[in-house]
């Protein structure tokens, strides 16, 4: 049976999700909610983001268009509410959707505070609704290839890894450093790696972070994570104020019999990649044949996982809400560690 989705918030992510839904069978958009009247009428040409195609005019024939997500969650045609609202609105929207008996697919970060994330997971659990969170990074081709190698078991157990996500000052993002609205670099940016670390290694017991502040928000930090097991895991994240390099991300992940390596940097003049590879115990370097360069493909894979998780009711090992809640816990412990210059329990 086709899963019927209502998208709450037609901004950059609402548009990207919309495009992805068009490419996944078995799941379809039946409603949207957006206060902007032009967008409610299908004119999405003013939507712009930092990847993917610019917004277009869309045909909303047969699709209910509400001004507020409160009306969308009450629509009996909607099975799952896709929350593409600004981060500060996630909590109330997820709680409203769960109270209305809907499954939820919420964009990252799940919430800005650990207590809110806990309340959201608990509310969906109490209503026996599935909560999925849009941590799309594991579906990006290089990350997906690395995960496939790790989860194959062919290279032994994980030993650790280092994860990087550094940008220049994102002057185009309003309220970026506002802890009540966006959450700063930890909650907006690093949460992707916090989630990946949680997925791969479990919940750290402690974290030690050192960093710099921008107002109340941690602007840049190095972190060392501790686990009950002897993994060696670290991260580098944040904003560096040289505008010539808007974005960098990458990883080096160690397994008993393999090292996975990848780095991408967008400079103002061009993007440069150290392609993903696996260096194995025989001294060979393995590389994937060809990876997609279409940024939408990661979202298509993510929506496919949403559909599969909702159809099967088997918890997603990538998108499950409790992993996203733990990612918020990790980021908040890092913030406490930078502020107190001390090791913090997660």
Ligand X SMILES: NC(=O)c1ccc[n+]([C@@H]2O[C@H](COP(=O)([O-])OP(=O)(O)OC[C@H]3O[C@@H](n4cnc5c(N)ncnc54)[C@H](O)[C@@H]3O)[C@@H](O)[C@H]2O)c1
Q: Which residues bind ligand X (CB under 6 A)?
A: 8-14, 33-36, 68-69, 84-87, 89, 107-108, 134, 136, 188
Closest contact distance (angstroms) between CB of 14 and ligand X is 6
Closest contact distance (angstroms) between CB of 131 and ligand X is 15
Closest contact distance (angstroms) between CB of 253 and ligand X is 21
Residues in the chain: 346
Rounded CA separation 316/143 (Å): 17
Residue among 131 and 278 whose Cβ is closer to ligand X: 131
Residue among 35 and 202 whose Cβ is closer to ligand X: 35
Residue 193 host element (H or E) = helix 191-201
Closest contact distance (angstroms) between CB of 320 and ligand X is 16
Cβ contact 235:197 at 8 Å = yes
Closest contact distance (angstroms) between CB of 209 and ligand X is 21
| Dihedral (Cα; 216, 222, 227, 230), 10-degree rounding | -170
**Strands 217-226 and 232-239, bridge-based pairing:** antiparallel
Residue among 100 and 158 whose Cβ is closer to ligand X: 100
Residue among 218 and 278 whose Cβ is closer to ligand X: 218
Beta-bridge partner residues of 232: 160
Cβ contact 28:4 at 8 Å = yes
Residue among 70 and 315 whose Cβ is closer to ligand X: 70
The closest alpha carbon to 293, from 318, 264, 252, 253, belongs to: 264
Which pair of structure tokens corresponds to residue 254?
Answer: 């160690």
The closest alpha carbon to 265, from 285, 244, 280, 286, belongs to: 244
Residue among 11 and 161 whose Cβ is closer to ligand X: 11
Residue among 173 and 285 whose Cβ is closer to ligand X: 173
The closest alpha carbon to 215, from 184, 236, 194, 237, belongs to: 184
DSSP string, 136-172: -GGGSHHHHHHHHHHHH-TT-SEEEEEEEEEE---TT
Closest contact distance (angstroms) between CB of 208 and ligand X is 26
Closest contact distance (angstroms) between CB of 12 and ligand X is 4
């Amino acid at each position: 049976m086709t899963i019927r989705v209502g998208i709450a918030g037609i901004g950059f992510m609402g548009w990207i999700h919309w495009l992805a839904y068009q490419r996944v069978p078995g799941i379809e958009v039946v409603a949207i909610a957006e206060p902007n009247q032009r967008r409610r009428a299908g004119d999405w040409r003013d939507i712009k983001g930092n990847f993917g195609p610019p917004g277009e005019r869309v045909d909303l024939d047969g699709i209910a268009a509400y001004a507020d997500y409160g009306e969308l969650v009450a629509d009996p045609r909607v099975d799952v509410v896709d929350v593409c609202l600004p981060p500060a609105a996630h909590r109330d929207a997820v709680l409203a959707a769960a109270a209305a008996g809907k499954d939820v697919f919420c964009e990252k970060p799940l919430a800005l505070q650990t207590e809110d994330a806990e309340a959201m997971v608990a509310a969906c659990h109490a209503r026996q609704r599935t909560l999925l969170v849009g941590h799309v990074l594991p579906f990006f081709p290089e990350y997906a290839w690395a995960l496939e190698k790790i989860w194959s078991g062919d290279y032994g157990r994980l030993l650790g890894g280092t994860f990087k996500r550094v940008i220049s000052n994102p002057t185009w993002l309003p309220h970026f450093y506002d802890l009540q609205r966006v959450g700063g670099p930890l909650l907006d940016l690093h949460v992707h790696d916090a989630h990946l670390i949680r997925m791969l290694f479990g919940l750290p017991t402690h974290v030690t972070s050192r960093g710099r502040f921008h107002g109340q928000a941690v602007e840049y930090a190095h972190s060392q994570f501790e686990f009950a097991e002897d993994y060696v895991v670290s991260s580098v994240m944040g904003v560096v104020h040289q505008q010539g390099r808007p974005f960098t991300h990458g990883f080096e992940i160690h397994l008993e019999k393999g090292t996975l390596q990848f780095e991408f940097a967008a400079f103002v003049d061009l993007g440069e990649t150290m392609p993903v590879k696996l260096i194995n115990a025989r001294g060979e370097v393995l590389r994937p044949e060809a990876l997609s360069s279409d940024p939408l493909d990661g979202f298509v894979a993510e929506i496919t996982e949403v559909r599969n998780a909702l159809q099967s009711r088997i918890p997603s090992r990538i998108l499950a809400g409790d992993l996203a809640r733990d990612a918020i816990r990790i980021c908040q412990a890092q913030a406490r560690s930078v502020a107190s210059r001390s090791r913090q329990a997660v």
